[in-house]
Structure 1
Amino acid sequence: MSSQKRLFVAATRQNDGKSTICLGLLQILKEKYPRIGFMKPVGQHYVEKEGYRVDEDVVLMRDVCRMSNNLKDMNPVTVARGFTERYIEEGGLEKYREMIKDSYERISRDKELVLIEGTGHAGVGAVFDLSNASVAKLLESKVLLISTGGIGRPIDEIVINKALFDQEGVEIVGVVINKVLPEKYEKIKRLTGMGLKRKGIKLVGVVPFQECLTYPTMEQIMEATGGKVLYGEQFLQKKVLNILVGAMEPYHALAHFASHSLIIVPGDREDIILAAIAGERVMGKNHEIAGMIFTGGLLPHKGVLKLIKESNFPILLSEDDTYTTAKKVHERRVKIRAKDEDKVKEAAELVKTFLNIDEIISQI
């Protein structure tokens, strides 16, 4: 295996913010190592891109950092529907191991450093013998482990994950505690640092929670709900800060309107629709609408539609009822995309400010 620096980034659980930390790391490390590579050996949430099924994080990293590597090399193994069942019945470990090694060799060619993103915690992928711990061992990489804010639970989970990496002979160079509430930042930084030190684990970063990274765009809302755009496609990049389900009388609804709200409302509730539009026009930015979803496949009267066409926000139509639509919105996954320029910059700034990059590099 080639001799450049490499770092494998894993998390203690889903939604620890691993991909955001990876995105920030890649941008900051690229300043120090212009010839940097990236790969995610095993991906789960894939998109169709350039004829391949590849993990969405790989597309993000390539587009943001303008990498020229083949997408399939950046994500050699994609766990699509039925993959696990086929593996249990048919096997194929050596084939997948060789795919990962061969892709790494091509990715790492002439590189100074390769950043490797794992999938979930140390044991994820064990069902098909490609856990994060075993893949990190395969690629002879040390690990940076990401956990989320708190004291007891994160330390418990870090120790459990460390045991799995230890079992494979993989070294953890440090731990990052992510999404720490600002009001608890200093306390958590001090106590987790002390607690981890007693376990022989280095704390190399504590990152405060940034609510702005959780805001979805209307385009992401559209994808989550399966809705179609009626009007305002040019406004789909508007961010949603608040969600209001319009199932009350208009005068009650007006009291709940907040800036950048997504309003989910049956298409025949013209009273709420008109109240929302009037509230925005009268009260201005304090009641700016991010978008509306008409539910039940219903449309308001054509006179109301004509008025809506003049609005500066997108209107979506969902065939689902209001409850189902709201549930889909609530359960959505918010992932950073290359076009989310403010979030991309924020990820880099967080890593630059709150991670000890020099310490991490010195350990790999």
Structure 2
Amino acid sequence: MGMHRPALTLSAHRHYSASPAIQSSSSTTIRQRPIYICATRQHVGKTSVSLALVSHFTKRFGSENVGYIKAVGQQCMRVWDEPLDNDTNDADDEAGQYVLVDKDVKLIRDHFGLSHLRYQDMSPVLIPQGYTKSYLDGEINHQDQMADIRRAYLNIVKATKLRGGNHNNHFITICEGTGHVGVGSVVGSGNARIAAELGADVVLVANGGLGSTFDELELNRALCLQYGVNIAGVVINKVQPDKYDQTREYLTKAIDQMWKGPNGEPAPPILGVVPDRPYLGCPALADVESTFGTVLLSGSDHRYRHYDVGSNVQGRSIGMSMITTDLAAFLRTMQRQDGDARTIFICHVTRDDVILGFLAEYRRKTRRGIPFQSALVICTGCDDGGGNKSDIELSPEVCDMIRDAGPAGPPVLRAPGYSPADAAKHIRTMTPKFNANDERRVTKATEHYEPFIDFDLLIDRTTYASDIAA
């Protein structure tokens, strides 16, 4: 962007971490800066873009030459972290241990086989509930927190260099941010600040549109400017296919006109415009489980089956349906569906007739060799009309009949404390997230995004000449 890049905490580290891609002379090497993926707000496809980048670079340079880190995470999970064996001296090898990491770290590491990286280095700081208060109360030291991030990043780079980096190979580190550029600022770990600490170039990801999209980009750019972080480019995501060309043309004009440097330096380019693909926004049953904090009573084999809860025919939803009719009408609805139909039916726990009818229709179609892909959500919430809410338990007898269907049976789960209307609203408005076990969604997202991103331009924007020997 033509701005002055101030001296940063890890400015010297650039010469250590950047990859020697081209040996142009005995004293000059073209090196690679880390690439920091930031979004303009939540749920705009930051992880999808990260998946595409890691996928492309592992194929282009080899998985051993690619590093990945999510410096600050929020949604965590417990994993077993094996020690790395980078030398022949077994005496100094560390023991494996269970560690908490951001869920996207497990997704990226496992899906792309980045076994040369340790989980704990890929996810150095987690912000669980109560972390912000502890930080503001002085119970968490800011310098220690930033030292953990720097140490983890250096370990990522070291592991990548040892495994695959040499003077003839390119190696690269992808840093995935959390939410918009300012997320984490309250605990001194905003995305822009960390990008500056690591000497990274930022890729901004925004949802498709024009006016509101540029407004969001401008807000996030302001923080990058504040911390002296270079913006390598912009990716526009989830663009309506019929507005694809228009979106690219006019956002390019807006960025070119508004983001030029003070001395006429060119604005950062649009690195990609990705058309929307509705399937990627369809929740899987695993997402529904997460939303209601429950697990499938039966049909767990179908946990990663996806449902288009927004689909409709002539204004009538066909991906999700609340059952308010009698049993005969409900059965007619189910029997009219073909084998490919996927509908999430929602009923109240008091509708034992509907629950048993659902199980009976599953068995009837199974006997006839007809596929059955619908699911049932049983809501247990109750309101007495005076604002007092309670929970009605599913009868043990009916619960046993559901469980007897087993993991391969029809998917049935409870929504504790929810009314059918509330459950339907939560399902329709949820934002599905990637899951390390949902290989189909991860693969489809990667395949969809890669063709629309200019990786050569990204490499060109994030490399620099160094006069210091590797």
TM normalised by structure 2 equals: 0.71
Structure 2 residue corresponding to 1:130, chosen from 178, 189, 193: 189
- Which piece of structure 1 moves more, 213-222 or 58-67? 213-222
2:145 maps to which residue?
Answer: 96
Q: Relative contact order (alpha carbons < 8 A, sep ≥ 6): 1 or 2 greater?
A: 2
Structure 2 residue corresponding to 1:84, chosen from 132, 141, 151: 132
Write the distance in 2 (CA, Å) between the matches of 1:252 and 1:151. Answer: 46
Write the distance in 2 (CA, Å) between the matches of 1:304 and 1:80. Answer: 36
Query: Are residues 339 and 302 of structure 1, via their aligned partners in 2, closer, same or farther at CA, if it must alter by over 3 Å?
Result: closer
Give yes or no for the alignment of 1:267 onto 2:339: no
Write the distance in 1 (CA, Å) between the matches of 2:396 and 2:275. Answer: 44
Question: What SS class does the counterpart of residue 227 from structure 1 fall into?
Answer: coil
Give structure 1 stretches of 5+ with no counterpart. Answer: none
1:248 maps to which residue?
Answer: 325
2:22 maps to which residue?
Answer: none
TM normalised by structure 1 equals: 0.90
1:191 maps to which residue?
Answer: 250
Write the distance in 2 (CA, Å) between the matches of 1:122 and 1:227. Answer: 33
Give yes or no for the alignment of 1:36 onto 2:134: no
What are the equivalent positions in structure 2 for 1:1-364 lying under 5 Å apart? 1=13, 2-4=16-18, 5=32, 6-34=34-62, 35-50=65-80, 51-68=98-115, 69-90=117-138, 92-109=141-158, 110=161, 112-199=171-258, 200-241=267-308, 242-250=319-327, 259-273=341-355, 288-296=372-380, 297-299=393-395, 305=401, 309=405, 312-323=409-420, 324-330=422-428, 332-364=430-462
Q: Which structure has more helix as a fraction of its residues?
A: 1
Question: What SS class does the counterpart of residue 143 from structure 1 fall into?
Answer: strand
**Deviation by residue 1:43-81 (Cα, 9 ceiling, x = unmatched):** 111122232221111111111111121211101110111
Write the distance in 2 (CA, Å) between the matches of 1:213 and 1:224. Answer: 17
Write the distance in 1 (CA, Å) between the matches of 2:178 and 2:402. Answer: 48
| Aligned-partner residue type, residue 32 of structure 1 | R
1:309 to partner: Cα distance: 3.0
**Deviation by residue 1:317-345 (Cα, 9 ceiling, x = unmatched):** 34434345445434544111232222222
Question: What SS class does the counterpart of residue 237 from structure 2 fall into?
Answer: strand
Write the distance in 1 (CA, Å) between the matches of 2:111 and 2:204. Answer: 23
Contact 1:260/1:287 (CA < 8 Å) preserved in 2? no
Contact 2:359/2:410 (CA < 8 Å) preserved in 1? no
**Deviation by residue 1:121-156 (Cα, 9 ceiling, x = unmatched):** 111111111111110000001011100010001111
**Deviation by residue 1:258-281 (Cα, 9 ceiling, x = unmatched):** 721111212342444466567776
Contact 2:298/2:403 (CA < 8 Å) preserved in 1? no
- Which piece of structure 1 moves more, 113-122 or 267-276? 267-276
Write the distance in 1 (CA, Å) between the matches of 2:397 and 2:135. Answer: 54
What root-mean-square deviation, in Å, do the aligned CA atoms of Structure 1 and Structure 2 show? 2.9
Query: Are residues 228 and 75 of structure 1, via their aligned partners in 2, closer, same or farther at CA, if it must alter by over 3 Å?
Result: closer
**Deviation by residue 1:275-301 (Cα, 9 ceiling, x = unmatched):** 656777679999943311223232497
Contact 2:40/2:179 (CA < 8 Å) preserved in 1? yes
Write the distance in 1 (CA, Å) between the matches of 2:295 and 2:181. Answer: 39
Contact 1:23/1:348 (CA < 8 Å) preserved in 2? yes
Query: Are residues 114 and 317 of structure 1, via their aligned partners in 2, closer, same or farther at CA, if it must alter by over 3 Å?
Result: same
Aligned residues: 364
Give structure 2 stretches of 5+ with no counterpart. Answer: 1-12, 19-31, 81-97, 166-170, 259-266, 309-318, 381-392, 463-470
| Aligned-partner residue type, residue 237 of structure 1 | Y
Question: What SS class does the counterpart of residue 231 from structure 1 fall into?
Answer: coil
Contact 1:228/1:318 (CA < 8 Å) preserved in 2? no
